[in-house]
Structure 1
Amino acid sequence: MVMRLSGLASGLDTDTVIKQLMTAQRAPVDKIFQKKKTVEWQRQSLLDMNTKLYDYRNNKLFNSKLEGNLSARKADLGGDTEAISVVPTGDAQPGEMTVKVKTVATAASNYSSSEITIDTTFDPNATLDSQKTKLFSPFTNNTVVINGKTVAFDPSKDSLNAILSRISRETNVSAFYDASTGKVSLVAKQTGKVNGASGAEDKITFDGSLLEDSLKLKTGPYDTDGNGTPDANPQEKSAVDAEVYVNDMLIKRTSNTFRINGLDITVKKASNRTDADNPATYTGTTISTSTNTDKILETVKGFIKDYNEMLKTLQDKVSEKRYRDFPPLTDEQKKDMKDKEIELWEEKAQSGTLKDDSILTKLISKMRSAIIARVDNGSSKYNTLSSIGIVTGNYQENGKLYLENEEKLKEAIEKDPQAFIGLISANGNGDPKGNDIGVAERIYTAIDDAMKEIKQKAGTSSLLSDSSILGLQMERLNKELDAGNQRLVEVEKNYYRKFTAMETAMQRYNAQSTQLSNAFSAG
């Protein structure tokens, strides 16, 4: 540790003098700090741009090039409009069909024939062993089988509710105990005939003394009044498949929602009819499917809007002004500035960090090329965006898109829908030059390539050192900065050593001078 004597003998303000000397020594280190800060800002700007590109690619452009959105259909219902609901997919073909609902699919169920307990203090959350004397009937084994699925339990550890919960998790049946009725309920998770070990039966099948004896679940007819004759089982409900006439052809499905000819149909109730066995008496539901031109127009307009916004974001960033007279501020410089002054300074200092960035300028060029390029679309005349009414603005607008002729776009959608879809979203068929790839697909690929380049250049964080170009640069600058700061510490110590030596010498000289003066005065 250096002993510091601050001007006691010389009268100098040693700390101030050394601080001034250190200012000159600190200049090269400050430049390294400013360069490091600039690299941090550049990395962060690239990472922020990468986030925007990801959002545009995945949440906007991807939806715009989905064939389902470019071939949107609408379905209008007539007749008995309450029997079904319909959602058309992009595969639905224009035309009409008639649907008549004979039966709605229902799920199989079963519940206890009577209360399962003989003691009101029965606790369904306590272990079965602790509660078995309170059950109506004891159980003799530690497994149950439901629809062919075996579920094991440990009565010394598992409660009734725990077992029923396990049944619900491990089988295709939901099970629960209702304390108010003292009964257990089983309900199939799917509608239709999906039960039993075969997965095709109309009733829930089960086995095991816990279910049959203790929980009083019965399957099939049983002697309810004790007269020795099996009676109907009122607790057991058989599943029913959905039965639907489509253009008078009977179709059966286990679920009430199914797809036919590109239409997702949901059965809601049986059709109005006078004779369930005679489909001629049914009031059918007519489905009229057609191209949803308005929805497709909305998708295309969204594509144009999102493209323009992304293009402007890129262009603004690569053309942003660089203020070279506003380098990053050091901590020492900030001490003499107000918060607002710091904010305004750093706003200019961070401006232009991506000016003329090669990755972004290349992406802009690819995006604009994709917009104006011809797509090999077979013999169709719809092979450029301009052929469907989408054009770019004047030169000063840097490639901004406009829907100039909506009627042209509608004509392409309605007259040659496959060519329209191909122009926007075709994946290509192996053309080495990619001439058969759609506009949106080309932009998607260009953005994907740019994002990979950004990752190679900037890594994943503006602060972490990694193998990216800027990450390695930051690692080198950090080492230089650490070495520079260590050198400043040694320089400052050396200055203090020299001033301390000077002060010590002057004190010694002053002491000797005083002694001599006193000696002469005494003589």
Structure 2
Amino acid sequence: MANIRLSGLASGIDTESMIKQLMQAERAPVDRLSQKKQTLTWQRDAYREMNRALLDLRTAASDMLLSKNYSAKSVVSSNSNVLSVTANSTAATGSITIDRIDRLATPASLTISQGAPTTPPISTTTMLKDSQLLGIDSATKQASLELQTYAADGSKTVKTVTLHLDETATIGDLVNQINGSKELGLSAVFNDLTGKLVLSRQATGQLNTSDEIKWTDQNASALTTLPAQTAKAGANASYQIGGTSLEQTSNTFVQNGLTITLNNTTTSPTTLTTKLDTQTNFDTIKKFVDKYNDLIDKMNKKVREEKFRDYQPLTDAQRKELSEDEVKKWEEKAMSGVLKNDPLLRDGINDFRSTLSAKIDTDYTIPSASGPITLNSLSQIGITTTSDFRDGGKIKLDETKLKEMLEKHPDSVYRLFTVEAPQKVTQPDGTEIKNPDGLSGFIRQIQAFTTTLRDKVSSVAGRDGSVATTYRLGKSLADIDKSMLSWEDKLKRKEDSYYRRFAAMEQAMNQANSQSATLTNYLTQGQ
């Protein structure tokens, strides 16, 4: 109720509208501050968008320092039905022949058969107390089973798990508990047709023990007849290479950088042929180049984006007068060009462009018909800038040339991308001085430039979640907020002053009207 004002009762003047119009003019400085705040906010957000893109490129550059991205291998099996294979970057190129595969690795198993027949035959829904598989303690009404096996990796660390089940538990409950115990590394299956419970090790291979799986019923004395236990030892995979017999505990194993999977036995030789996977290596480089070009494209668009100076951020009053679609179109114009000709981004683009023409100190030569060639330029492996100046330094790949270098000299590509420049050079007299022209590889330069540019941008616009007082635009925004609060206090006092003046006018007019009415009444009575 304190904010309700009744004005113009005596004068008949719409003082409320008059004060609003007066205050609208008074609010002009606040509106300008609000517009400036919005512009700085858009600028901060645009900088942060660039910062995230720079971080993405720097992360990709870190991945490109790994040698595997330049030396991926492909391998082919002459008979994938009996042997399948993949290769990692450490695999040697060439061929290897597996003479024969005599045996596949199998897991150890233990089969539990009921000791006495039951009517009806047992199934997964049969209660343990009726199954003649496990005894039930007469006092506790519980079954207690101890299972023992070796670790899943085949080591001699014995794993022992005790399962406790009450007399209402079924064979299905027992199976679920065994399968649910990751510590055991066993798989349990109950066959309703045979009435047998089969436990198998999840890991294949033969262990140095006759008790690879051990079943101990703590209440066996409660059974009419003890169940039969049939153990089957695990077997190692057996194969021959060059007349030498070898064994593996698993059908999948790594040998000389090849991940080999034995699928079937065979007496026929199987040849594995390994070679450089030039296409994969090329695709990896192209993927990074595409990310690099995307960043350059974003930076160029920001510094070249048209600035529409007639489109300032909308005030609250202006926003109310426009439709939602009109507001959207207006703000697209107003936001455009917030980083136009930005010096940080311009310098960053120039730095990136310089990496493509710089002489890199690889200390590496490649043979040619005219003699060894020193490798020191990206153009030598098919990486240059596009001929269109409007691209602003995007990379162009000569696919044929780059693939040829990846095929014949993969180390050269790797060094041009990742070499660390020598910090010093040795002069003819043997003394060392700082290397005046030492440049690291392309990827390391990209890492350095993205890190430096991110730091510069962050000092201006901060990073996501940064405290406002830690970056330049944040301090400016905080100062504007303080100024706006100060102005709002001034405007409140100004508005109150207008209302007081109009109230005084109304009061004076009320008094005049009252005097006029009294005088009129007096003159009327005298007639």
TM-score calculated relative to the size of structure 1: 0.80
| Matched letter for residue 503 of structure 2 | T
The yes-or-no answer on 1:87 pairing with 2:86 is yes
Equivalent residue, structure 1, for 2:25: 24
Equivalent residue, structure 2, for 1:288: 273
Equivalent residue, structure 2, for 1:398: 392
Relative distance call for 1:257 and 1:154 in structure 2 (3 A) is: closer
Equivalent residue, structure 2, for 1:492: 495
Q: Is the 8 A contact 1:326 1:348 kept in 2?
A: yes
Q: Is the 8 A contact 1:116 1:183 kept in 2?
A: no
Give 1 or 2: higher strand fraction.
2
Equivalent residue, structure 1, for 2:304: 319
Distance 2:219 2:406 in 1: 61
Per-residue CA deviations over 1:170-219 (Å, capped at 9, x if unaligned) read: 424234464846654433222223x6xxxx55763335425978999x9x
1:260 alignment partner, one of 242, 252, 255: 255
| Matched letter for residue 512 of structure 1 | Q
Distance 1:202 1:502 in 2: 111
Identity of aligned pairs, percent? Answer: 30
Distance 1:246 1:501 in 2: 111
Q: Name whichever of 317-326 and 134-143 sits farther off.
A: 134-143
Distance 2:8 2:450 in 1: 66
Q: Is the 8 A contact 1:104 1:256 kept in 2?
A: yes
Per-residue CA deviations over 1:308-361 (Å, capped at 9, x if unaligned) read: 222111111122222333221122111112223211210011112233445433
Q: Is the 8 A contact 1:117 1:134 kept in 2?
A: no
Within-5 A mapping of 1:321-360: 321-360=306-345
Relative distance call for 1:386 and 1:211 in structure 2 (3 A) is: farther
Q: Is the 8 A contact 1:2 1:497 kept in 2?
A: no
Distance 2:242 2:212 in 1: 33
Q: Is the 8 A contact 1:146 1:205 kept in 2?
A: yes
Equivalent residue, structure 1, for 2:430: none
SS of residue paired to 2:332: helix
Q: CA RMSD in A?
A: 3.9
Equivalent residue, structure 2, for 1:98: 97
Relative distance call for 1:319 and 1:214 in structure 2 (3 A) is: farther
Equivalent residue, structure 1, for 2:245: 250
Q: Is the 8 A contact 2:33 2:480 kept in 1?
A: yes
2:406 alignment partner, one of 408, 413, 427: 413
Q: Is the 8 A contact 1:459 1:466 kept in 2?
A: no
Per-residue CA deviations over 1:492-521 (Å, capped at 9, x if unaligned) read: 233222212221221121111111122122
Distance 1:312 1:363 in 2: 12
TM-score calculated relative to the size of structure 2: 0.79
Q: Name whichever of 423-432 and 107-116 sits farther off.
A: 423-432
Within-5 A mapping of 1:112-191: 112-114=112-114, 133-134=129-130, 136=132, 137-138=135-136, 144-147=147-150, 148-152=158-162, 161=173, 164-165=176-177, 168-176=180-188, 178=190, 180=192, 184-191=197-204
Q: Is the 8 A contact 1:109 1:203 kept in 2?
A: no
Distance 1:215 1:345 in 2: 87
Q: Is the 8 A contact 1:202 1:239 kept in 2?
A: no
SS of residue paired to 1:374: coil
CA deviation after TM superposition for structure 1 residue 14, in Å: 0.8
Equivalent residue, structure 1, for 2:428: none
Relative distance call for 1:9 and 1:303 in structure 2 (3 A) is: same
| Matched letter for residue 391 of structure 2 | E
Q: Is the 8 A contact 2:349 2:393 kept in 1?
A: no
Q: Is the 8 A contact 1:109 1:236 kept in 2?
A: yes
| Matched letter for residue 287 of structure 1 | L
Distance 1:6 1:480 in 2: 32
Point out where structure 1 has 5 or more consecutive residues left out of the alignment: 225-232, 274-282
